[in-house]
Structure 1
């Protein structure tokens, strides 16, 4: 009887470890950022699930950053729930935590959107939206 309890406890522990290792609530999302011009500052990425909050970083699902490095930089969220998302990436060269803009509208730091849509004016959510249903990797090109 005691062996049965130990065996069942081990099975429970194994299932618990597998659930947490696989991301109990979600999957990984990796963003490969291409075209970083310098090592100044950080590369920041904001993840959005709601078109109404798109481009409002304070209302993003999650924001991550890493040190800038010329060429390609990768950022990853390890636990994203399946669904429809859009990503905004920018090169925060002065490391102030925001995309600098001229006249409050025109980006003065490199930026990019998921799906790399061509836009003029404030970009909408839909052209940048993509589905996450399993481990996902996307590429975003920065424009300076």
Structure 2
């Protein structure tokens, strides 16, 4: 009986632990220099502060594709930036505004600052593909 209960809970937990893949296509990048960096956030408090995962990709024909594997089903936001000088960071001016092109999921745009978390969030419940159009600044 104990083995049967263990088997049941083992099978049940497999269904809960299914992770997803998020594929992001970024269009409208102004040139092919440097790389495209994408950051995934999994909470409002960490949005644009502390990414859950980060990855980069080469740019070809003003488009880049990045893939995040093993993301638990949840709510997320994505911020992408064109690391044009390939220095591994988003360059900002003296007041903290991005000097390199950036964009967010849902093509969310901010007014006098970054977009709101609520405008950029989306639910990831299965393998998904999203497209983000690059802007000059947040």
TM-score (norm 2): 0.80
- Checking the alignment, whether the CA contact within 8 Å between 1:68 and 1:91 is kept in structure 2 is no
Counterpart-to-counterpart distance in 2, 1:61 and 1:25: 18
CA shift digits 1:20-78 (9 cap, x unpaired): xxxx641110111011111211100000001111112xx21100001223322111112
Equivalent position of 1:134 in the other structure: 126
Matched, 1:39 2:32: yes
Equivalent position of 2:3 in the other structure: none
TM-score (norm 1): 0.77
- After superposition, residues 20-99 of structure 1 pair within 5 angstroms as 25-56=18-49, 59-99=50-90
Matched, 1:115 2:67: no
- Checking the alignment, whether the CA contact within 8 Å between 1:37 and 1:70 is kept in structure 2 is no
Q: Which has the larger radius of gyration?
A: 1
What are the ranges of 5 or more consecutive residues in structure 2 without an aligned counterpart?
Answer: 1-13
- Checking the alignment, whether the CA contact within 8 Å between 1:27 and 1:82 is kept in structure 2 is yes
- Checking the alignment, whether the CA contact within 8 Å between 2:32 and 2:62 is kept in structure 1 is no
User: What SS does the aligned partner of 2:89 have?
Assistant: coil
What are the ranges of 5 or more consecutive residues in structure 1 without an aligned counterpart?
Answer: 1-18
Query: CA-atom RMSD, angstroms?
Result: 1.5
